Amino acid sequence: MDQKVPMRKSNRRVTDRERIDQFLKKQRIGYLGLSDQTSPYVVPLNFYWSGEKLYFHGADSGRKAAILEQSPLACFTVAEELATLTSPIPAHTTTAYFSVMLFGRVRAVEPLDEQREAMQQLLDKFVPGFFQKPLAAQHLARYRSSLGSRTVIYCLEPEEIAAKEYPIDPARAFPTAD
């Protein structure tokens, strides 16, 4: 988890890999950051974290696919807001949070067994127990969307992981309407 650029507010750094893994396994949406050399592109995605690799899926065409063909470099960010923390000083009102950023290269998953396993894990995470039978590998190979595109399973293997936390201070937590 070495930092290429020093982390600002490094006192908030989280290095406990088990906490990071549990957080990534629990969260449902993350933001994939890419650049096509003319502008940044950030897209929210469902994902599955294996403990070593992050998997997501998408169409074989479109902006995300085109950018990834040009450059596989990516950043994937996942964050959870824990509470708003108040202060008598307006500038000290802040947010308690936990966040993880993964930096690395994205590749399209080629082996059909790895594609099927990743998609099965996504289904198990997002609709547990909905499907009675495991996903057939042939389904991935043959499926086409209503626009005619096939599904691509992508994998981000992080070269760097940066996690930060600003813990909840119950005495400062602003009550929510929930």
Sign of CA dihedral 118, 123, 126, 129: negative
pLDDT at 8: 74
Tell me how far apart the alpha carbons of residues 33 and 138 are, in angstroms, rounded to a whole number. Answer: 31
pLDDT digits (tens, 9 = 90+) for 108-165: 999 888 999 999 999 999 999 998 888 887 777 776 766 767 889 999 999 999 999 9
**In the predicted structure, residue 2 carries a pLDDT above the cut 50:** no
- For residue 80, give the nearest of 60, 97, 56 by alpha carbon: 97
Q: Which of 1-10, 43-52, 75-84, 153-162 has the lowest mean pLDDT?
A: 1-10
Domains of the chain with CATH codes: 10-166 (2.30.110.10)
Please tell me the number of Cα atoms within 13 Å of 125 on its side-chain side. 19
Find the Cα–Cα–Cα–Cα dihedral 8, 14, 20, 22, rounded to 10°: -130
Q: Which residues pair with 56 in a beta bridge?
A: 154
Q: What pLDDT, on the 0 to 100 scale, is given for residue 178?
A: 60
pTM score of the predicted model: 0.87
